[in-house]
Amino acid sequence: MKPFRMRMAHSLISAYELDQYMEVIKPIPATSNEMTRFHSNDYIEYLKRASPEFAEKQQLDTQKYLNFDDCPPFDGIFEFCSISSGGSISGAQKLNHGDSDIVINWSGGLHHAKKSEASGFCYVNDIVLAILELLRYHQRVLYLDIDVHHGDGVEEAFYSSDRVMTVSFHKFGEFFPGTGDLKDIGIGKGKHHAINVPLRDGIDDDTYSSIFQPIMQKVIEVFRPGAIVMQCGTDSLSGDRLGCFNLSMNGHARCVQFMKNFGIPLLCLGGGGYTVRNVARTWVYETSVLLNKEVSKVLPYNEYYEFYGPEYVLDVPKSNMDNQNSPQYLEFIIKSVFEYLRHVQHTPSVQLHEVPPDWPGFDSEAEAEMLDQDADANMETRITTLQNDRHVTTMNELEVDNDDANDDDSDTYLVTTSSGRTVRLPNPQSGRHRRQARNTKQKTSRGSKITTKSTRTNRNTATSTNGNIQTNKDDVNEKSTKETNTPDEFIGDIYKHNGTASRPVRSNSSILSNESTEKKQEIENKNYSEYKSEEEKEKESVEEKATDEKEENIGEEKKVDEYKSASDAETTQDQEATSAVVGDVKNVETENNEMDVDSNIQDGEIEKAVDEIMEAEETVQNNNDVEENQKDDLESANNL
């Protein structure tokens, strides 16, 4: 019963790619409030605190609530129960809302748990919680159990109710739990609504089908359920470690196929099964049967491939076990069951009533404390896994798409499933048109200035052409609709509503009188003239700014030209001075070459001439540097 069985089945389902043909959902774990719809408060509070250490300290409570032989306490027991129960409750909600016709939860099916006691490896009875959820929408619910053990927990929960019929095919005698006699048929209003089919050891596929199909056919005809919950425990297979039947995988799946053919909303749950490799094989094959998909007998490679050796095939064959169920015994059982069903009435005791709301979320101190502890343990996580699971919603809960426009604004809507069943559900989109109109009015009023301005600009053009102001309401509506792109329109300060299916809009002629139309025309004309004068003022201010900018640019260009001419003049003067000095130097050199140097020339004059030549060269160099700097300044000015 450990979660290892679920991992093996899920791995093999994914290896066959069967999950691609289903909608895989992550259900929200069940809360203690949901569990106490059936279980006692004291028992659930004990499971919250249950652990091996706590069980030793509270021995009296442990002996009261748990059975150490098959239901020992372990760490995380409440989390395990909440996950299993949450899956079955979410599956029932899927059927109630018409989202699915068949829902599978192989981790459920714990049918032995009692109201205040754990039994048979079962701590919380998820089947009872799922049936209670289905009873919110369906007048009658059928529970079918093909586990080798009797579904005593579910039968006990609805033993006095005529809205739930329990049918169990099980081993009876010196076998756990020791209940499920043929004469156990219910009490009070639930009399004849508990059907038990006690079987003997070694029943095979053909014998099982010969008693299963006629009884279930009669049950469907008489009871006429609105939904079916089927517990598919695999401990009735051949070779199970705790079972004593001789069913093959095909014989077990034949029961699932038979119930599927009725076309009634079906919730398939797991259950017992203690030869783990056969449990995974059977549930995978039954998943393919529910999907109408053929799968290969050769097992594909998966995470637990070595567990299926040495055959590595998708099959659980029957053995040569002796069948102790004689034809006379089976005929006697069928006659007795048919006699009990003859007393069943078609109409249950429930009357038509309003469907109660879905189960609330965290609304108790215990759940609030759980959220706080989860947040404290994951301080570095912005949104924890528990918080994310609490906000999981499906698309149909956010938006409803109906072909009939007249039902969009109604309080309820009809949903027809593929099986032909029609369910009336509350419409979450009720009043959507009114909310949309209100929100659109606020958005459009903020952007109405743009629309009014562009419209008045067009009218000003018509005024300059014709000499007077002419308004055309239809043209204004078309232009405003194109520019705002909204379903609602505004004409001046008057809101035009498109209407809804339940409240159609009236024509403008019936809303506005002639006097209001004339007043509206005068107001519009006045507004047009005001906006016209404002636009002319804006136009003049723009032209003045453009003129000032142009004059500033011209002044800057003149300054640049003056600076350029001054720099050119200075450069010309420097060049002429430099050329004159160079010419003097050359003349001096020429005279010195032509004439013999007079020895009487003083040394001081020669040094003076040399100094003058050096100074002239430095002046030329400085002038060249100044010229380059002026060119750079000129380029900078041009860039500005």
pLDDT digits (tens, 9 = 90+) for 468-484: 434 444 444 444 444 44
Same domain, 92 and 234: yes
Catalytic residue numbers, as ranges:
112
Same domain, 337 and 358: no
Same domain, 71 and 112: yes
Same domain, 235 and 369: no
Bridge-based pairing of strands 412-416 and 266-269 is unpaired
CA 117, CA 111: separation in Å to the nearest integer? 12
Residue 128, helix vs strand vs coil: helix
Residue 462 lies in a domain: no
Residue 423 lies in a domain: no
For residue 75, pLDDT beyond 60: yes
Same domain, 75 and 39: yes
CA 576, CA 570: separation in Å to the nearest integer? 10
Residue 231 lies in a domain: yes
Residue 444 lies in a domain: no
Residue 638 lies in a domain: no
Q: HSE (CB half, 13 Å, CA atoms) of 24? A: 10
Number of domains in the chain: 2
Mean per-residue pLDDT, 9-26:
93
Nearest CA among 408, 412, 397 for reference residue 431:
408
Residue 100 lies in a domain: yes
Measured between its terminal Cα atoms, the distance across the chain in Å is: 86
Please say whether the beta carbons of 95 and 71 come within 8 A: no
CA 294, CA 296: separation in Å to the nearest integer? 7
Number of Cβ atoms within 10 Å of the Cβ of 8: 22
Element (H, E) at 537: helix 514-594
The domain boundary, picked from 280, 315, 343, lies at 343
Q: What is the reported pLDDT for 584? A: 60
Same domain, 330 and 371: no
Per residue in 519-560, pLDDT tens? 666 666 666 566 556 667 677 777 777 777 767 667 666 666
Match 């019936």 to its residue by tokens: 510
What mean pLDDT value characterizes the chain?
Answer: 78
Residue 409 lies in a domain: no
Question: Binning pLDDT at 50, 70 and 90, where does residue 346 land?
Answer: low
Residue 218 lies in a domain: yes
Question: Binning pLDDT at 50, 70 and 90, where does residue 428 land?
Answer: low
Same domain, 199 and 276: yes
Mean per-residue pLDDT, 178-201:
95
Please tell me the pTM assigned to this model.
0.60
List C-alpha distances in Å: 228 to 96, 268, 279: 12, 8, 22
Please say whether the beta carbons of 152 and 145 come within 8 A: no
Nearest CA among 473, 538, 554 for reference residue 508:
473
Q: What is the reported pLDDT for 226? A: 94
Per residue in 575-584, pLDDT tens? 666 666 556 6
CA 88, CA 48: separation in Å to the nearest integer? 20
Number of Cβ atoms within 10 Å of the Cβ of 539: 10
Give the domain range for residue 78: 3-343
For residue 133, pLDDT beyond 90: yes
CATH code, domain carrying 171: 3.40.800.20
Bridge-based pairing of strands 494-496 and 489-491 is antiparallel
Same domain, 160 and 224: yes
Mean per-residue pLDDT, 578-592:
59
Question: Binning pLDDT at 50, 70 and 90, where does residue 281 land?
Answer: very high
Same domain, 275 and 243: yes
Please say whether the beta carbons of 196 and 182 come within 8 A: yes
Q: What is the reported pLDDT for 546? A: 74
Bridge-based pairing of strands 412-416 and 194-199 is unpaired
Same domain, 235 and 270: yes
Same domain, 306 and 370: no
Same domain, 73 and 34: yes
